[in-house]
Every structure is written in C-alpha cells, then in structure tokens.
Structure 1
Amino acid sequence: MKKLSKNALIGYPAGIITGITYGLNPLFAVPLMKNGGAIESILFFRYFFAVLMLAAFLVIRKQRFRISGKQAGILLVLGLLYTASSLFLFEAYHYIASGLATTLVFLYPVLVAIIMVFLKVVPSWPVWLAIAATFGGVLIMTQGDGAQALNPLGVLLSLGSALVYALFIVIINRSKAIASISNSLLTCCTLVVGTFVFLGKILYSGTELTSCITTGTDWFNLLGLALLPTVVSTATLAVASRNIGATKASVLGVFEPITAILVGTLMFSEPLTANIVIGIVIAIVAVTFMITVTKR
C-alpha cells in the first residue's frame, strides 16, 4: 500500500477543514440574527475582527502592504463583490433554512463555468452536463414539500450570493495585475473594503453599532464568525491548494454544504425534506464531477 506523501498529509486535512469551517457560517450567524442583531452590524464586526487577525498575521510574517493604484482599484471591486456575497447570504437566512442557503452558495463553480462562456472560454461536455444536473438539483431542492413551500426570495438571494462570489473568483484568476499579491493580503484588503461598506451602511441607516449585541455569547459568535468561516477557511484553502492542487482542494469543498445542512438540522431544527436531500446530493455530485473531470 502506497504511503501518502507529506503534501497529501497536510493538504487533505486542510481542504476538509476549509469546507467544514465555511459551513459553520449558520452556527454563529443565526443566533445573532434571531436575537435581533442587524445584519450590517454582524457583518461589520465579522469583517473588522477578521481584518485585525489577518493584519496581525501579515505583520508577524513581515509581509509588505504596498500595492499599486491599479491593484487598489481591482481590490476595491473584489471587496465590493465579496461584501455583496456575504450580505446576500445573510439576508437569505431570513427567508429559507440557513443550511439550504449556504448549500446554494456552493454552486459557485458552475456559475464560474457559465461566466467563462462570456469570456469566450467554452466549457467541455462534462461541464455542460454538470451545469444541467446542478440546476436540476436546485429545482428539486426549491420545491419544498406539501407542508411547507420555500420562499423564492431566499433562493434568489442565495444564488445571488453564489453569482457575485463566482465573479470574485473569475477576477482573481483572470487579473494579471493582482497575481503577485498573496492570498492573505488579498483577503485582508477585501475585508477592509467590506468593513468600511458596512460601517457606512450603519451610519447611513442610523443603526446602533452594537444593535442587540450585548451578551458574552453574542461577542463569542462574532469572534467565531471572524475566525472560523473567514480567517481559518481562507488560510486552510491556501494550504490545501498549494499542497494537493486547486482541483482536489475544490472537491473537498463538498464538506461545506454537508456541514451547513447538519448545523441547520441539528442545532436549529430546520426542516430536511426528501426533496432537499435529493437536490443537494445531485448538486454535490454534479459539481464534484465537473471539477474532477475538467481538472480545473
């Protein structure tokens, strides 16, 4: 039996941690929202704490923070897209089960493939097959059951989150101007943009900065949001990509929807209908098939 290489021993666990930690978004966000916390306040503190953690990491690593004007412009766009993705996802939690909402964001690789068509990169037949199967899975997921119908607005918000995140990924992969920027610095700059956007939204709307964020549990959940689904998932994704490659790291992302569904069902008693289970399985298999066969 062939022994796993050192890279595999590091990369595979890192990829699994990436999926699990990002899937923990509902675990920390839903209690805050149920307590009456404003989305802009929750996301402001999530981004603010994450920026502090990443900035400290970059300082320890003696990373240079200097970027050019052109890079700053691209990072601003990336920051706005990343911010919109978070906002759409958290808004979706108001309308549909948090596990399902987070699962729908996992469809972003398929949306990336569709966007690439407009950039004259025509997908191969396995990609078209995966796209068709994935949207079939989504249609099944969104049917609900006879007792409870899904709110279409929640589905659209989740898919909107996936779409802007797909645009975020496309720009990162296609822009040569930011190719020299490390993952950590890119993420830090992206989150800085989001921090100012949500601070501006708070000031404009007149929302209290600490709206319904009063207890120690609330602050623990905010730190959890900043640390696990943001900083840890980003860091381990970089580790996994470098050690086992982007393809295998992407495939291990299947742990994201699995974790989100388990959290929603076990922690918040969210409904788990047969349609949702069948739709999720189809979507996960389709996305995994696409990534594995195309090796992209």
Structure 2
Amino acid sequence: MTNERTKGYIAGLLSSATFGLIPLFTVPLMRDGMQTETILIYRFGFATLLVALVMLQKRISFRETAKHLRILFIMASLYFCSAFFLINGYHAMNSGVATVIHFMYPLMVALLMLLFFKQRMTPRGLASLGIAFLGVVLLSGILGGEGVQVSLPAIALVAFSGFCYAVYIIVVNKTTIGTVPMWRLTFYLMLFSTLFFIGLSIGKQTLGLPPTPKAWGLLFLLALVPTLISNLFLIMAIPRIGSTATAIMGVLEPLTAVVVGITVLGEELTLQSTLGIGAVLIAVALLVSEKRTSK
C-alpha cells in the first residue's frame, strides 16, 4: 500500500509539473498569431494520434462499452469547459487573478467529496490545502501595489472552469471509468476534446494551419508533454492517493510556470514569488508525509 501511495504522489507531482509547462509552448505560438482554438485543436489532435499509435503498437483494442463512452464524453465535456472558460477568463482579467480563482479547485474537490461522499480531511490535509492556496496567491502576483478590479461574471466564468476540473478529477476516482485501460481512456478523452474544439473553431471561423515549421514542432511538444504525459500521470495518481490529494498536488502547476518564466523567459525572481514557492513546497511536503490518505 505504501509503495502504491508513493507511486501516486510521484505521478501527481509529475502530472502537475508537466502541465505547468503549457506557457512554454503556447506563448510563442500566440505571438506568431495562432488563435487559441486552433492551438487547442492541434494540441489534443496530436495527442490523440500519439495515443492511437501506442495502442496499435501494444495491440490495445479501441472497443469500449456504451456506458463507458458516455462517461468519457462527460469527462471530455468537463475538460473542454475547464479549458475554454479559463482561457476566456485570461482575456477578461489579469492572468494572476484568473490563476488564483481557477486554483480554488482543490478546495472544491474537498468540499464535493465531503458533501457527496462524506470524506473528511485530516487536520494536516486542511493545513496543506490552506498553505497551498496561499502559495498560489503569492505566485500569481496579485498582491502588488495596484488594486484588482474584476467583474463578477468574469469571476464566475473562471470559478466555473475550476469547478469543471474538480468534477473531472472526482469522476475519474468515483466511477467505473477507472476499470478502462489507461491508454484507451486517454485516447477517447483526447479524441472527444479534439472534436469539441474543432466545433468551436468552425463556429468562430478561426481554424487554420500552423504558420511555420517551428510552430508545428511546438504544437507537437505541447501535445506530448503538458497534455498526453500530464494526463497519463493524472490518471495514474488519482486511484492511488485519491481525488483531494491529487488536486492539492496540482498547485505545482503555477510553480512550474514561474520557474519556466525565470529560467527560460528571463523574468525576475521576486520576494513574493520566493515566498510562494516556499509555501507550495511546504504544502506538498505536509501532504506527502501524512501517514494515511483517504480516497
């Protein structure tokens, strides 16, 4: 059991860390003029093709029951809504504010697990959750000198993106979808997500080809690292350490983004960012050192 928990925490760390690399690949693409919907189509489309190739090589069947396909469709819808409303939130408010609101999802997971599954958090788990959220606030940079003014509808949209992701995590843990082989589960999630974004792009008339060979390469890496690899590790983590713990581990995503900004994009390491990094690391250490974690 301890070995499985260790694997779960490692998978959770790797999932959140790789997911935090999204800006590393998307920012150059957006600077090249690619529309958000188009980027997401190629992101999930390439991921779908990669999983399909692995399944063919491993001789994994694509056949799935109608019941599981319905659950997978719902999961992909939740994933789509989470990404779509968060992206729109970035256009309506400061990205740091949007990050803080979205990363309330670990709290949402804990509350939903309490309300619907009667799962209570331990004092150490609650402390970890609180410190993790403080770390995200510090990393977001919203505690600067200028006041933050955001409309209530924009806040609601970004909060809904976090809620969708919270429900997505719980569905993986609390339904029979966990019995579906990992590669087949990932394939249908990526496929349905691609179809959703194609429909959105056609509706908005933003579908287009990547402008340069470099853009093709960035899109492939975006599909491989913070999409395919991140989701595979997420699916591995949830059954081993539970929904709440996996959600709390997700605070490493903004930490990774900050580290990338400092080491790759030449951004400054501020005292506030340093304190945020320390808070996130303390929260993760508290969680991992807990002797027993409920699912």
Percent identical among aligned pairs is: 31
Give the aligned partner of residue 217 of structure 2: 220
Q: Distance in 1 between matches of 2:232 and 2:168?
A: 17
Q: Distance in 1 between matches of 2:98 and 2:280?
A: 13
**Are 2:204 and 1:209 aligned?**
no
SS at match of 1:235: helix
1:205: how far off?
1.4
For residues 103 and 158 of structure 1, do their structure 2 counterparts lie closer, same or farther at Cα, with a shift above 3 Å needed? same
Alignment check: 8 A CA contact 2:72 2:189 kept: yes
The AA in structure 1 aligned to 2:217 is: F
RMSD over aligned CA atoms reads 3.7
Alignment check: 8 A CA contact 2:19 2:225 kept: yes
Give the aligned partner of residue 22 of structure 1: 19
The AA in structure 1 aligned to 2:183 is: S
Alignment check: 8 A CA contact 1:142 1:150 kept: no
**Of 37, 53, 56, which aligns to 2:53?**
56
The AA in structure 2 aligned to 1:295 is: T
Unaligned 5+ segments in structure 1 are none
SS at match of 2:144: coil
**Are 2:241 and 1:246 aligned?**
yes
Give the aligned partner of residue 162 of structure 1: 162
Alignment check: 8 A CA contact 2:9 2:288 kept: no
TM, length-normalised to structure 1: 0.77
Give the aligned partner of residue 295 of structure 1: 293
Q: Distance in 2 between matches of 1:156 and 1:32?
A: 28
1:28: how far off?
0.4
For residues 189 and 129 of structure 1, do their structure 2 counterparts lie closer, same or farther at Cα, with a shift above 3 Å needed? same
Give the aligned partner of residue 227 of structure 2: 230
The AA in structure 1 aligned to 2:207 is: E
1:87: how far off?
2.4
Q: Distance in 1 between matches of 2:10 and 2:117?
A: 36
SS at match of 2:207: coil
Q: Aligned runs of 1:53-92 on 2, under 5 Å?
A: 53-92=50-89
Give the aligned partner of residue 259 of structure 1: 256
Alignment check: 8 A CA contact 1:28 1:221 kept: yes
For residues 272 and 165 of structure 1, do their structure 2 counterparts lie closer, same or farther at Cα, with a shift above 3 Å needed? farther
1:281: how far off?
3.9
1:150: how far off?
5.3
Q: Number of residues paired by the alignment?
A: 284
Alignment check: 8 A CA contact 2:110 2:121 kept: no
Q: Distance in 1 between matches of 2:69 and 2:126?
A: 35
1:238: how far off?
5.4
The AA in structure 1 aligned to 2:36 is: I
For residues 103 and 119 of structure 1, do their structure 2 counterparts lie closer, same or farther at Cα, with a shift above 3 Å needed? same
- Alignment deviations for residues 241-283 of structure 1 (CA, whole Å, 9 cap, x no partner): 79xx437x94875653332111133444556654454345435
Q: Distance in 2 between matches of 1:270 and 1:97?
A: 15
For residues 159 and 282 of structure 1, do their structure 2 counterparts lie closer, same or farther at Cα, with a shift above 3 Å needed? farther
1:233: how far off?
2.2
**Are 2:276 and 1:282 aligned?**
no
The AA in structure 1 aligned to 2:241 is: A
Give the aligned partner of residue 41 of structure 1: 38
